[in-house]
Structure 1
Amino acid sequence: MAIEFALENKKAVMHIYSSANRESYERYLNKVYQYVVTKYIESVFADIPAKEEDLEIIIKFFKCELVGYTLDWMSDGMRYDIRNQVRRICELFDGTTKIAIQRSAEK
């Protein structure tokens, strides 16, 4: 994932983040997280007949959350343990994605 890449290449990534190439890195993050979230939603919730428009909204929401969280982490110098925080967010919000997708199928 983008976080693992950033941790393995911290110095280079922070240089890109602080440079004029930051937009390129942000586009990369958006593409990676768009792919990851889309594949997750498609595989885990394939059996729920949600509306395509709603799925796009849900995917965009989670993509933006991940991109924003990653950029915040980078602006803080990558000092906190983002993996543990993202893992904890997933625990705290467990089930909410399924509820949103089920609501889409019902309405």
Structure 2
Amino acid sequence: MRITENLIFSTVLQLLEERPVSKITVTDIVRRCQINRNTFYYHFAGMEDLVQHLLQAKTKEFLGLKRRFRRPVTFLFYMMLVASKYKTVVLNLYHSDMRGALEATIESICHHYTHLYMASLQKMNLSDTDRELLIRYWKTIASGIFLDWLKHDMEYDMPHAIKRICFLMAGNKDLSSFDQLKN
């Protein structure tokens, strides 16, 4: 069963490299996989269900890498590199009816990594309420920057923008109070 799902996932990823979600049909998938429609529908209720499961599987795979990041900004760079590798797929999902699912996936990944980051900062001696507040803050910053990058079709130089923001926050008196959060 898992073999068939993986075949369907890899096929839909190939198709997403070629065209938008709205132009991909179940017929396209079953022909390329050389399976029948009943097999497809045994695993997935339709295209939306398939994309939801694909996003869940890729999220699980991404989170399973067990990478540790010293700062949320480092995680954001890594996430950007992975997304760049699948730029066409990501943008085809972003510009489709599946945008909400993609955005929720991005927020979930950002929340997971910011939670890990905050857990590594035991020395800060924060209350649970303050820790959750900082997790929400960093998740919102990371997912917001990432979603803005998608909104602009991943065209601007996000690594440069992030480095510049960090520089401005570290060097500006009015923003220096945020410096301790950045490290």
Alignment partner of 2:154 out of 68, 78, 82? 78
Equivalent pair of 1:30/1:63 in contact (CA under 8 Å): yes
Q: Residue 27 of structure 1 aligns with which residue? A: 104
How has the CA–CA distance of structure 1 residues 29 and 81 changed in structure 2, closer, same or farther, with 3 Å as cutoff? same
Query: How far apart are 1:87 and its partner, in Å?
Result: 3.2
How much is the aligned-residue C-alpha RMSD, in angstroms? 1.7
Q: Residue 124 of structure 2 aligns with which residue? A: 48
Query: How far apart are 1:91 and its partner, in Å?
Result: 4.1
Query: Which one has the largest radius of gyration?
Result: 2
- Structure 1: gaps of 5 or more residues: 99-107
The letter of the residue matching 1:24 is A
Distance 2:147 2:169 in 1: 21
The letter of the residue matching 2:83 is A
Where has structure 1 moved over 6 Å in runs of 4 or more? none
Distance 2:166 2:109 in 1: 18
Q: Which has the higher contact order (CA 8 A, sep 6+)?
A: 1
Identity of aligned residues (%): 26
How has the CA–CA distance of structure 1 residues 38 and 85 changed in structure 2, closer, same or farther, with 3 Å as cutoff? same
Equivalent pair of 1:2/1:29 in contact (CA under 8 Å): no
Query: How far apart are 1:34 and its partner, in Å?
Result: 0.7
Q: Is 77-86 or 52-61 further displaced after alignment?
A: 77-86
- Structure 2: gaps of 5 or more residues: 1-77, 171-178
| CA offset digits 1:61-107 (Å, max 9, x no partner) | 11111111111111111111112322333344453317xxxxxxxxx
> Which SS does the other structure have where 1:47 is aligned?
helix
Distance 2:81 2:103 in 1: 16
Q: Residue 164 of structure 2 aligns with which residue? A: 88
Q: Residue 18 of structure 1 aligns with which residue? A: 95
Equivalent pair of 1:16/1:25 in contact (CA under 8 Å): yes
Question: TM-score with structure 2 length normalisation?
Answer: 0.49
Query: How far apart are 1:41 and its partner, in Å?
Result: 1.7
| CA offset digits 1:7-64 (Å, max 9, x no partner) | 0011110000000111111111111111111111221x21122110111011101111
Distance 2:119 2:135 in 1: 10
Equivalent pair of 1:2/1:32 in contact (CA under 8 Å): no
Distance 2:123 2:180 in 1: 16
